[in-house]
Structure formats: structure tokens, C-alpha cells
A and B are shown apart, each in its own frame.
With several copies, the nearest count.
Chain A
């Protein structure tokens, strides 16, 4: 068994915050002929390989990373999933 974890972090814009990228993608998909799309929102997806086996410690560390650096808490939310590797 390996003694590592992989964190999958999704960073998304808070509700109501304008998403120019999502808007432009939406329009571009429309002109490519994709119909029936109501909304597109773009966020970030970050994978972090951690040398840590304790899940709750790993989660606490990743949360801190999100708050301090990865997410811009004024306009973004984050969600963390952990996986043993």
C-alpha cells in the first residue's frame, strides 16, 4: 500500500458573480450549433498529491491551502475530495 493522498479541489465562482469566461463559452457553443444550454460556468480544478495518510489532517491542510491561496474567498467557493493513492 502506498501512503499518499490525492486531493481533488474544485474552485467555483460564487452564485451571482459574473463569469465572463462561462458566458463566452456559452456563446461559442451556441454558434457551434449546440442548443439547449442554459448556462455555462467555468471554474478551476486542482489536483494535489500529498504525503499524508491521515484523512482529516489532509483535509485540514487542503482547506487551509484553499483559504490562503487556491481560492479567492471574496468571489469563489471550493470543494475538496480526497482519495487514497
Chain B
């Protein structure tokens, strides 16, 4: 049968409006027709192209830039391109991880949007054969004064908890920031880290012809079908339900799906497996077939549906959650089916792999789509969009930034800022201990989770400082990578690799594309210098409303390995009488600092530069001390600067500290609140000090005695006293108080 006979669109079917509603421009549409051998697509095919060639699936604006990121290294088992990245953690084990955005759905419906974001990223990880071991979430909300913010914070946090707690994966870390640029575009970036056996990793490739394609999990509904409201209304007789339905998460079903998949994966029935994420059935089948170099034919009559009269278009584009597609070894269907039935899940053979190289979908006896696979998967346009780099800003001299009236008041004020106050209100709503391996709970630099049943642990963190990226995309991108590296190092972990979530505005604006390009180049520079490659990631563009773009936010998720869980560090002061040491160079950099932004009210100058050579040297030194068992209490200096870091260590231990400004010629507020990079504070036994200093000096690493731990307050050279109780009150109360005032 010639596909042209059955597949030609009705005369009036594909209007320019319908093409536009599918997010394809004129050139892209022409490319679609060309891919089909010169004919026009029908509506179903247009829908398939629109999702496969969307920014989300095809990375058409970002691909040329992403290619600049280093993705290899001896530790890398699988870099970007699969569902998640994989790194070797020794003993035949691997860490599998990825971060992904669910920004827009979370703005529309914060609870379900965030919940399904968590569900989606976990499927990316367990589809590769890994059991999820830890979740993280990087969140950005609008200004606290904006009337939507509270509602969004509350919904997103309970949605993340609602999903992760139920499925029983600990949520151990993340970030929360507030800035008015996110008023209309919040960011919800979810990360999952899983553990797998190296010889039991599963990939998406569907090799072999004549193999059964199997659908498992939940039934398909009309969830999250974007594209054409108008076009889909045409075949939806229920006129009051035109709005694309929000995806609702079902963590219980996901838990069953996780256990069922892992049970099946213990055997050898699976050839390829892929979760149904964005663009559900379409992208999962296209990607599996393309990677395996085969064709695929789906019989949509066999797809388990939960709603009546679903069309081919709807089934192919539905984003219903908690579903997976697998290609099995022929003859193994019955055994597999038993497992899924035991867990109460749908199991249906819905297609077969073919040698045609085409994606074919049949429904009710008709061919609804017949498209060359290669074109769908690989022929999306690739844009090298015009970009302009932001202007370099001057480095602010410390003396130009006014001193506070009172140093101690300034500290209290900083510690209670929305961007710096305690996130306890958030993480206490997350089960961060389930699975019994969280040895470093939220609140420290990176969370530490044991590799179950071993002496090893993984350290995990997410970081980015968007105001730095906005001021200098290159330095900001560098800094984000370096900060994760530093956070991992501060626990004693050897950083292994990162995942990223690139959240930016409209890439068709050259200045936004400039931010993207700059951030990528900065990230690449840091990754290269630190031998810390990118193994997975995600891009979220068009985060803007009425021309107001978000701050450029390349969120970085870092994973590191602690070989001996007994040799790790916490971010608390160790003991009364400990000596505090500062490792790293002090320059008193106040440009783009929180002190400058929130206490002086200015956002000026260049962000703190990151010296990657010093970063590497200082970090390796600190990690060496932890690994040797010489130091067990370390915190890095980041947002807010030195005194803030000391305060955090003091509150964590309920032990105060008297610190000294040292001998450098800098104003006190620059020493205390400057955000110089590459620094760590160590709390050490008095009798270790000489040895550590000598060893640092022999390596030309800047180190100085910062002070002495003890008492219940903080002081600077015996003055400017701040009681820990007052500090704690300031630090702990902002978020709960904010959230309790409706």
C-alpha cells in the first residue's frame, strides 16, 4: 500500500495556523514535507514531528553549544545521550544520575507539576537498571513579595515531598532562591541519583527485527497534550474540556513500576527499555528504534487507555506518567507479563521492530503515521542562533562598598535573608532518611548517602549563583561548576562528574543566547580544569514572560565518591577549643555579593573570579586531610562570605567562635562578607594545627589561623559579639514565618 493513498491530509487539514500552533515555522514545515518525500503530513504526523522537533526533544537551539562540554573521562561509563549519565564508583558499581526541569507545569499547577517532575527524573534513572538512592531539587521562586510566591513555594515543596516520600527515595538536598525575575517563570529542577551494577545496565537501543515492543505501567489518558488546542478540539467532542489536562502524578504506581522493572531486569528478557517522558509513546519508540537502527510499527489499538475514544494523535502525544516502553527478546513476553501482573500493572505488546527504517503507527485498521525514523530522530533543524556576549563589568574595589554601621547587625541580617536563611522548613517536609543510608543529612555542604551495604558513600549537591551568571555568564558558569566541586570536596568526596539543567530565557534574543554561550564556555573550562565531565543534562529555554527573562540559571548537580564512609567531614565545628583554619586567598571581593545586593542595595561589578588552578590545589589539599583522618569538620565559603560560613558551622554544632581579621589590608566588612572563591574553613584539634599549616605551606597553599571555637557566641577579635541563640532565631525563623502568613 502506498502511504500516499492513506496518508494525505484532508484538503483543509493542515492550515498555516495549525502548523504554527504546533510550534513549527515555515522552513521547518517545508523540511517536514521534504522528509515525507514531498507530501504534506496529516495531523497525526504533524503532531509527531512537532514534538520530536520541539526544543525539548531536539535541542535545536542548544546542540551546537552543548557539544563544547567535556563528556569523557576514565570514570565515565555513559555520557550524555542516554536517559541518564553513568559513572564508575568501583567494585563493579556505578552511579546513574540526571537533572531535569519541570518549570512550566509547576507554575501552572505547583503540586502536580513538581511531583511529576520528580517522577519523571526517577524513571530516567531506573530505566537504566539503577535503584534510585537520592533525590535533589533546585528551586527558584519569584520575589517573596509577589502574591503568587507563597502558593508556589508551598505547592512545589509539598509536591516534591508527596512524590519522593511516597515512593521511598530520600530527598537529601537542593537549593531555594528568590528573585523577582522568576515571578512569572519559577524553576523546578529535579535530580535523581541511582545505583546500579556495571554489568546490569540497560540502554534504550531496540536492536533486532521482529522483536515485541511492550508497553508497561499506567494507562494512557489525555494528559499534557500540548501542541494544538484548536486542532485537538476538532476531534474532542467534549467542548468544555478543551484545556490541555494537567498531568497528575501517581507515586504509588511509580513505586510498583520501579519494583517490577528491577525485578524483570534481574533476568535477561530486556533488549532495550526507555521511559515515556515528554512526547510519551512517540519519543520513546522513535528513540529506541533509532538507537537500535531498526524500524518500529505500533498498533495503537493495543495501547491501554483510560479514556474513551482516544485518537492516534492523542495516544502518540500523551504525556501520561508512570509508563515505560520495552523491547523484549521474543518468547519472553509471558514471563515478563507475570511480573507486571504481580505488581498490578498494565502490560501490553503494542508493536514490533521492523527492517523498514520507518516509524509506523496504525489505528483502527488505518495507517495514521508513516515517517522515516532517521528524519524524526536526527533531522531536526539545528540552529546556530546569533548571540552577543554581555559587557564585562568592572571589578569593584572593596573600599568602594560602604561598611555597615554594625558588623554584628549585618551578620544577623544576612543570615535571615530569603536567599541565605535556613531551609529546614523545606527539607523537614522531605523524607531525607528513608532507605537508611543518609549519613550526611540536608543542611551541610553536600548530602552524603551510603552505597548500600558497602563502606563507600556518594556525596551529592546542586548549585548555581544566578546573579553571578547574569553579571558575567562565563565566570558564573565556571563558578557554578566549581561550587559543586567544592561542596563535594568539603565532605571528603572525590568529585566524579556533573549533570546540568540549563534554564534560560528566549534563545531567539541574542543577549540570552549570549548568556547561554558564555555559561557553557565557563562550565566547559571548569569541567576541563577539574577533570569533572558532564554526563547528562537538560535544557529549558523560553523561561520568560512579557519579555522579562529569568536570571540565567545553569543549575549544576554534582556527584562525588567517598571511599571510606568513616573518613568524611561534616560542616559543623568539631569541638570546643578547636582551631579554625582558613584555606584559600582573601581578596575581599564584594561585587555581586549578597552583602552588596541586600545590605547596600546595589548589584554592581564583576562577580568573584574563580581561579581554577587554586581551586584544584586547595580542594585536593583539603580532601587529602579528610582522607587521612586529620580533619573531619569542613565547610566551604560561598554565598555571604566568611563570617556567614563560620556562623553556619557554629550553629550546626552549637559551639561559638572568636575569629580574627588577620593582617591583610582590607576593610573588615570585605574580609567578613566578601565572596572570594576556592576557600574552606577547617575546624581542627589544636595539636593538628602546626602539622596542617606546615603541610599547606610546603604546597604553597594559602592558610591562616582564623580563630578559636568555644562559647555560645561569635566574635571578631573579641568584639562585635553575636549570640548563637539570636543568630539561630534570625536564621531559622524567616522561612516558616513567611510561609505561615497567608
Contact = CB atoms under 8 A, between A and B. Distances in A.
Direct touch of chains A and B (CB < 8 A): yes
B248 A19 contact: yes
Nearest to B222: A16
Contacts of A24: 252
Interface in B111-148: 111-112
B248 A17 contact: yes
Contacts of B177: none
Contact of A18 (B251, B306, B742): B306
Contacts of A19: 248
A32 B111 CA distance: 21
Main secondary structure of the interface of A (DSSP, over half): loop
Interface stretch (B57-65, B238-246, B453-461, B620-628): B238-246
Interface in B311-335: 320-321
B498 to A, nearest CB: 34
Nearest to B111: A72
B344 interface: yes
B109 A74 contact: yes
B238 A15 contact: yes
Contact of A27 (B108, B321, B344): B344
Interface in B223-281: 223, 238, 241, 245-253
Max count, chain A CB within 10 A of own CB: residue among B221, B245, B253? B245
B246 A17 contact: yes
Interface string A1-44: 00000000000001111111001100110011000000000000
A16 B221 contact: yes
* Interface size of A as a range: 10 to 19
A75 interface: yes
A31 B238 CA distance: 33
Contact of A75 (B109, B218, B252, B320): B109
A33 to B, nearest CB: 10
Given A18-B223, A24-B252, A28-B742, A74 B246 contact: yes
Nearest to A39: B306
Given A27-B344, A75-B109, A20 B241 contact: no
Contact of A74 (B108, B221, B306, B320): B108
Contacts of A15: 238, 241
B112 A75 contact: yes
Nearest to A31: B742
B250 A23 contact: yes
B307 interface: yes
A57 to B, nearest CB: 23
B241 A75 contact: no
Contacts of A20: 248-253
Given A31-B742, A75-B109, A18 B221 contact: yes
Interface in A43-77: 72, 74-75
Interface string B551-589: 000000000000000000000000000000000000000
Max count, chain B CB within 10 A of own CB: residue among A15, A17, A18, A27? A18
Contacts of A75: 109, 112, 245-246, 248
A32 B253 contact: no
Nearest to A13: B248
A8 B651 CA distance: 49
Nearest to B742: A31
Contact of B241 (A16, A27, A28): A16
Interface of B: 108-109, 111-112, 218, 221-223, 238, 241, 245-253, 306-307, 320-321, 344, 741-742
Given A15-B241, A18-B306, A31-B741, 13 more contacts: A15-B238, A16-B222, A16-B223, A16-B245, A17-B246, A18-B221, A20-B253, A23-B250, A23-B253, A74-B246, A75-B112, A75-B246, A75-B248
10 nearest CB pairs, A to B: A20-B250, A18-B248, A31-B742, A74-B109, A16-B245, A16-B222, A75-B246, A74-B246, A15-B241, A17-B245
27 contacts: A14-B245, A15-B238, A15-B241, A16-B223, A16-B245, A16-B307, A17-B245, A17-B246, A17-B248, A18-B218, A18-B221, A18-B306, A18-B320, A18-B321, A19-B248, A20-B250, A20-B252, A23-B250, A27-B344, A32-B742, A72-B109, A72-B111, A74-B108, A74-B109, A74-B246, A75-B112, A75-B248
